[in-house]
Structure formats: C-alpha cells, structure tokens
Copies of this chain bind each other. A is one copy, B any other.
Amino acid sequence: MANRLEEFKSYRLRMNDRIAKIDHLGIKRFFNLDTRAYENGALDAKTKELLGLVASTVLRCNDCIDYHIVQCVDAGWKDEEIYDALNVGLIVGGSIVVPHLRHAVESLDLARAEKNGGSVRQPD
C-alpha cells in the first residue's frame, strides 16, 4: 500500500496528464515555464529547488511542499540544510506555517526512506 507521498506523486502525474489533454495554449505554456524556472540558469537548479521549497512553505501549499521536498532530496540537499531553509520559512510565515512544517518533515522522512530503498516507513 502506497504512503501519502507516493499517492500524491501518482495523483500529480495522473492529473498533469489530464491537463495536458486540455487544448489551451496558455495553460500548456505556463506548465512549460514553471518547469524551466527550476532549471540551471544564473542560479543552479539545486539552489532554485530550495527557493521553491521556501516559497511553497510560506504560501502554505502542502502539495507544492511535497513536490519540492522530493526535488530537494534528489538535488542533494542534506536534512540539516533543508531544516535550515524550513526555519527561514517558519520565521517569515509564523506559526500558521507550523502545520505545513509538520507536513514537510514527514514528507522528508518519507522521501528519505524511499530513497534508501528497502522499507518505506509508514507514519505509525
């Protein structure tokens, strides 16, 4: 049985496929622009993922947090660095961010477990 991070990833893919079938140039172009915003440029892709994580944290979007947590792990950010970035998000955004900090830390644990292969730790 999939954990919530895997469920999110599969829902995201399924709905992105569905949206890709919509015949609307503006929507298609925005999705393309969104992808490109995190590619290497004046800043490297790794730094940009951290920017995306903090932006998602202060705007309090769990799905966006999940996406960028996975990307940050893939990009090679260490836990301590991710916590430090989340702390910036917490101080900027205040205690209203706390439920999303809980979510982010749980997602990070799930992403690490998946990365480490073997048993994906389920929340108890």
Identical chains bound together, number: 6
**At the interface, yes or no: A112 with Cβ under 8 Å from chain B?**
no
Q: Is the CB of B61 within 8 A of A58?
A: no
Q: Is the CB of A51 within 8 A of B96?
A: no
Q: Which residue of B lies closest to A24 (CB)?
A: B83
B interface footprint on A74-118 (CB within 8 Å = 1, 0 otherwise): 000010110111111111111111110110011001000000000
A22 to B83, CA, bound (A): 8
**Given B42, B86, B93, which contacts A94 in the complex, CB threshold below 8 Å?**
B93
Footprint of B on A, CB under 8 Å?
11-12, 14-16, 18-19, 22-27, 29-31, 33-34, 36-38, 41-43, 47-48, 50-52, 54-61, 63-64, 78, 80-81, 83-99, 101-102, 105-106, 109, 123-124
